Homo-oligomer: A and B are copies of this chain.
Amino acid sequence: MAHNIETERWGRFELRTSGPSGGNPYADVRFSAKFRYGNRTVDVSGFYDGDGHYVIRFMPDTTGEWTFETDSNMPELAGIRGSLICTEPSARNHGPVGVDRIHHFAYADGTPFHPFGTTSYVWNHQPEQLQEQTLQSLSKSAFNKIRMCVFPKHYDYNHAEPERFPFEGSLAQGFDFSRFDPSYWRKLESQIEALQGLGIEADLILFHPYDRWGFAKMSAEEDDRYLRYLMARLSSFRNVWWSLANEFDLMHAKTMQDWDRFFRVIQENDANQHLRSIHNWHHPGLHYTSNAHWYDHGKPWVTHVSIQHHDLHFVTDWRKLYRKPIVVDECRYEGDLNHGWGNITGQKMLACFWEGAARGGYVTHGETFLNPENVIWWSHGGKLRGESPARIQFLRSIMEAGPQLGETAVDFEWDAASAGVDGEYYLVYFGESRPGYRILNLPEGVTFTVDLIDTWEMKVTKLPGEYAGTCRVDLPGKAYQALRIQKVKK
């Protein structure tokens, strides 16, 4: 049927064919394919796309010739064979992002990926024109990851009814959780592709508690079918991450066992093993008297730690505890909202980014300014209004110019966040501390330059001279300063 179709590495091969449309094909028809490369076999699930159309999508990860053969419980869908030629990736295609060197991320081609995420939960459920504006804003921003929901959102400032739903039905008439609405999914796919065009990873939130439609209270069978359908449709998009939930611990209809099962269903059905995590509401460790607990990020199917927490100091501990990349996917949002999670200053938002980075972790942005239109970036997208995004851009340029950072043997004292690569590079962030000078205990026998970085003013000043061993740096006694210490290249 399809032969020697060219697909670039980490691109998407798609096989479309026809089959039965009677009954409920979403529930009743099994359709899959085996893709083969030499002795290797990859199992890929297909999906029903409505109107008698059946689709298999496949993201090849190795250049050369792949063959495939379909399988199905419907004779007309089984035994379809073909081949494809996987070619070199195009210039801006580095493949999907995965974990790199325990605490970091890299694209599949080895290019380091420093996530600078933002949050716009349901920008994809907004009117077309607003979606365009959001993509425009993103294209000019620092952000290369966005947290966004599959399901629409019911919450303050979020009461409009969206145009499309993942399932057939409506709020008034109810939903059939056993039948998907392909038009919703095609739209979501075009949104994910638009993000890919901008170099942005879609951190897709698969469940969330802010719900008036019943999506947060489906049965186990419905949940699992939804996840399998989603994997079949979306796992071939190289820029998706799976966030099992936003604030999972507010979804009172689900148990820890449900979340375990969801992780396994995803593992079994994602041919490309995209990044997987889950995001909390409670803050264990904040209250001595709190019994709250998180989903155990130590479980093997959790690829990286996605945390809601306002205190970036803990990043150092979390790195040691989990030995996975730490992404603080909510540390409160820059804005002036009535709600406490949405009214921090730009200074504080930026300080979270710097502290997280200088502890070897990653931080996600959000913005919540009151405005007469009630179009708020955190949920709807639109325009960025805050003071932090430009400064996050500046931080991103600093981070991408340096190596991936980890714990160092050099102790820069407890009031500074610091990370680096021993003997090569150190990033030291003082935050609200403002020492008038500091004695550094750099390694002996290596010579360093020291840059003073004013993180708010976005200025880098090279301090005079070279530094080695125990040495003194004079500092401006001003908040929000950082040091970048780099080995002199001989």
Contact = CB atoms under 8 A, between A and B. Distances in A.
A479 interface: yes
Interface in A248-296: 285-289
A340 B415 contact: yes
Contacts of A337: 435-436
B338 A435 contact: yes
A40 interface: no
Contacts of A413: 339-340
Contacts of A433: 340, 343-344
A437 interface: yes
A314 interface: yes
Nearest to A472: B338
Contacts of A479: 345
A336 B415 contact: no
Interface in A287-309: 287-289
Nearest to A477: B336
A101 B336 CA distance: 37
A414 B436 CA distance: 35
B288 A435 contact: no
Interface residues of A, number: 36
Contacts of A434: 336, 343-345
Contacts of A438: 338
A229 interface: no
B343 A314 contact: no
Contacts of A320: 289
A414 B344 CA distance: 13
Contacts of A439: 338
Contacts of A189: none
27 contacts: A285-B285, A285-B288, A286-B313, A288-B317, A288-B318, A336-B434, A336-B435, A336-B477, A337-B435, A337-B436, A338-B436, A338-B438, A338-B439, A339-B413, A340-B414, A340-B416, A343-B415, A343-B433, A343-B436, A343-B477, A344-B432, A344-B433, A344-B434, A345-B434, A345-B479, A348-B432, A370-B477
Interface of A: 285-289, 313-314, 317-318, 320-321, 336-341, 343-345, 348, 370, 413-416, 432-439, 477, 479
